[in-house]
Amino acid sequence: MKEIEVLQTDILVVGGGTGGVAAAIQAARRGISTILVSELSWLGGMLTSAGVVAPDGLELLAFQTGIWGAFLRELQQRQFSGLDHAWVSFFTYEPCIGAAIFANWVAALPNLRWLQSGSPLEVKQQGNSIAAVRFADCWVKAKLTIDATELGDVLALAEIPHRWGWEWQSQWQEPSAPAHSNTMTQTYSVQAPTWVVVLQDFGAELAPAMDPPANLGAIDQFAETWSGYGPKSFLNYGRLPGNRFMINWPQAGNDYGLQADRLIASESAQQAFLQEALEHTQSYAYFLQQQLGRRYGLAQDVFPHEGLGGGAYALHPYYRESRRLKGMITMREQDILPMPGGQVATLPSDADGQMSAIAIGNYANDHHYPGFRFPLAAKSIRWGGRWTGTPFTLPYGCLIPESVDGLLVAEKNISVSHIANGATRLQPTVLGIGQAAGMAAALCIEQNCQPRELAVRQLQTALLQDPTAPMAIVPLLNVLPEDPNWLDWQHYYLKFPEQYPIDGNAPPALPRHAQHFSLATTKSSKDKSQEAETFAGTFQRRNIQDYVLQATAPEILAGQMLQLVTLHPKIDRQLQQCESGQRLKLRGQWNRSGNWLLVTEIQS
């Protein structure tokens, strides 16, 4: 028998998904020896190999910071058709472009070694600390390990206390948590994963006819799939460049979560669930072609896949939920909801009263249980002419086990309740979680300390002042990363969290006692790849934060009513001041799928 190789490193990142690749890149950029072990040939997880190439949340320009902001800017440079194609997100892109970005970033770091060695098989502990992890072809010994697997595999192997599934309202008094078990919670132990498929519009040519899957499910379950939308709007939900369509559709669509406990039961049980989830999506794709006709079929060569529709199916499901660490702090639903009368959540503090935030999120709390309606406490706000989510922050303690040393988490496996997970699981937020975990691990190596011993203020400062991808810690709706006072405002609210405004808007001027930092901030988040066009027409205010333009130019849009939206705080303020009947000349991009005009400049 071949002797298994033993590797040594300062930091081991287990899992090459969204959080894992961010953690590994950040740790290595700090100069720390790092090994990243992935299961697949693509890095990025949800953002690439799972096919969810329409990221949700942190879309406002003020929130496009850190590795998330850098990823967006790189996408804008590489995808010449721009990113504004669908109506579910402002950003859709070819999965291979996202995977190439992460691979290039990893390859540029000589102290980061990437191994495609599969899933972790065993964890070795020394005393109270994680010491090494075994894979199929090697052991990796590390001073610090980061569990960034899709399902919290290291937590299970090391028998670190964790949660799976529902908590009842009595546990944390979360307003949306069920009081007790019911039919829905018995049917779905966790949120339903989705196996994404990409369809192609073949135009005048006929798409290859799909054969019925060997285990074709009852396709009448999909009969109401675009009810209330229509087939065109349904397809444009996840429109990609090149007349392709990402299908990640919750309404009688390809969500699948029956007996999801099998995902953590055994290898054979997990494989049985995955096979059923894939077959469910195959049945759905077959149904869609039957309904839409052979103008539409499976896209080719989207993913590096053999035998699954020529590469139309993602490499693995989009997992919305994982085993969840029992950490030093557990995020609850209350921590993501807006303050009374406000539009941002309260900033978290640790036991010493220090502001403990290390990453931000803002997505609405979104849960998926096919066939059931599950109302949740509202956490959405109107901003920029559209709905967005209440900004919130994640505390450092949710990355650290209650008692075990030598480990951080960096994916959907953070210490969070089942309810709050619906807002923390989104791709941009998980990139931020990963970046924070990678930076924390690097600082621990530099200081020869355990994660629980690291001063959170040092971590926050390092993230804010990172020379490559500085990341916002405090959500401020009206302060852009390129603002000369951006860093000052961030540090001010870290020092004086009680001054944080409930509307999330910093006042016009810094207080006199604010400390000044004469350091460069992040690069501009302006979209340079997609040239703005000029539009003209009559402005109409339909409601609060609800605006339309009756277009007169360009001629192709004359007479149409275009929804006006923006991601820029200056434009948001200007739109609030416009009056109905006012003639406007604008610069922006028209999104045909959502029929909105993304305004980048108001000229008159």
CATH number, domain of 565, equals 2.40.50.140
152 in Cβ contact with 409 (< 8 Å): yes
- In this structure, is residue 282 part of a structural domain? yes
Whole-angstrom distance, CA of residue 192 vs CA of residue 312: 21
Looking at the structure, do residues 453 and 585 belong to the same domain, yes or no?
A: no
The confidence score (pLDDT) of residue 3 equals 79
**335/432 same-domain check:** yes
Within a domain: residue 184?
no
Arithmetic mean of pLDDT over the chain? 95
pLDDT of residue 604: 77
What's the pLDDT band for 218 if we cut at 50, 70, 90?
A: confident
Burial class for 374, CB neighbours closer than 10 Å (0-12, 13-18, 19+): middle
Residues 166-179 have pLDDT tens digits of: 999 999 999 999 99
Separation between Cα atoms, residue 35 and residue 166, nearest integer Å: 34
With beta carbons less than 8 A apart as the criterion, state whether 545 and 577 touch: no
Residue 39 and residue 153 share a domain: yes
Please name the helix (run of DSSP H) or strand (run of DSSP E) that holds residue 509, with its range, or none: none
Co-location of 88 and 144 in the same domain: yes
473 and 543 part of one domain = no
Q: Does residue 368 sit in the same domain as residue 421?
A: yes
Out of 283, 298, 313, a domain closes at 298
Q: Rounded to 10 degrees, what is the CA torsion of 98, 103, 108, 110?
A: 150
User: Cα separation of 506 and 476, whole Å?
Assistant: 7
Q: Which of 457, 478, 499 is a domain's end point?
A: 499
Which of 242-256, 511-525, 588-602 is predicted with the least confidence, judged by mean pLDDT?
Answer: 511-525
| Six-digit token string for 118 | 């599969």
Average pLDDT over residues 202-213: 92
Could you tell me if 374 and 407 lie in one domain?
yes
My answer on whether 485 and 353 are in the same domain is yes
Residue 23 located in a structural domain: yes
pLDDT digits (tens, 9 = 90+) for 81-112: 999 999 999 999 999 999 999 999 999 999 99
pLDDT at residue 2 tops 90: no
Domain-embedded: residue 9: yes
Return the closest-CA partner of residue 412 out of 331, 487, 312. Answer: 331
Q: How far is CA 254 from CA 84, 165, 277, 300, 304, in A?
A: 24, 21, 8, 19, 21
Q: Confidence band (pLDDT; 50, 70, 90) for 516?
A: low
Reference 256, options 343, 195, 187, 189; nearest CA is: 195
- Res 512: pLDDT: 77
Give the separation between CA 177 and CA 163, rounded to whole angstroms.
Answer: 15
The DSSP string of 419-484 is: TTHHHH-SHHHHHHHHHHHHHHHHHHHHHT--GGGS-HHHHHHHHHT-SS----SS--TT--TTST
**Structural domain of residue 545, as residue ranges?**
533-602
Would the pLDDT of 527 be above 60?
no
- Residue 418 amino acid letter: H
Tell me if 173 is assigned to some domain: no
Mark whether 140 and 29 lie in a shared domain.
yes
- Domain assignment present for 465: yes
Q: Evaluate whether residue 428 is within a structural domain.
A: yes
Q: Are residues 231 and 359 in the same domain?
A: no
| 461-506 per-position pLDDT tens digit | 999 999 999 999 999 999 999 999 999 999 999 999 999 999 999 9
Number of domains in the chain: 3
Over range 541-570, report the average pLDDT: 96
| CATH classification of the domain holding 111 | 3.50.50.60
Q: How far apart are CA 30 and CA 447, in angstroms?
A: 13
Give the pLDDT confidence of 352-367 residue by residue, as tens digits. Answer: 778 999 999 999 999 9
Which candidate, 415, 357, 438, places its Cα nearest to that of 14? 438
Residues 374 and 439 in one domain: yes
Which pTM does this prediction carry? 0.96
User: Would you place residue 307 in the very low, low, confident or very high pLDDT band (cuts 50, 70, 90)?
Assistant: low
Q: Could you tell me the CA-to-CA distances from 201 to 124, 169, 281, 419, 495 in Å, in that order?
A: 51, 46, 18, 38, 53
Higher pLDDT: 510 or 28? It is 28
Percent share of the chain, pLDDT over 90:
91
Distances (CA, A) of 72 to 42, 382, 587: 18, 23, 21
In this structure, are 472 and 372 located in the same domain? yes
Q: Is 70 part of any domain?
A: yes
In sequence order, what are the residues at sequence separation of 6 or more whose Cβ sits closer than 8 angstroms to the Cβ of residue 47?
A: 18, 53, 55, 71, 98, 427, 431
Q: Per-residue pLDDT tens for 528-544?
A: 435 689 999 999 999 99
Of 204, 200, 304, 279, the closest CA to residue 244 belongs to 200
Nearest to 257 by CA among 418, 371, 156: 371
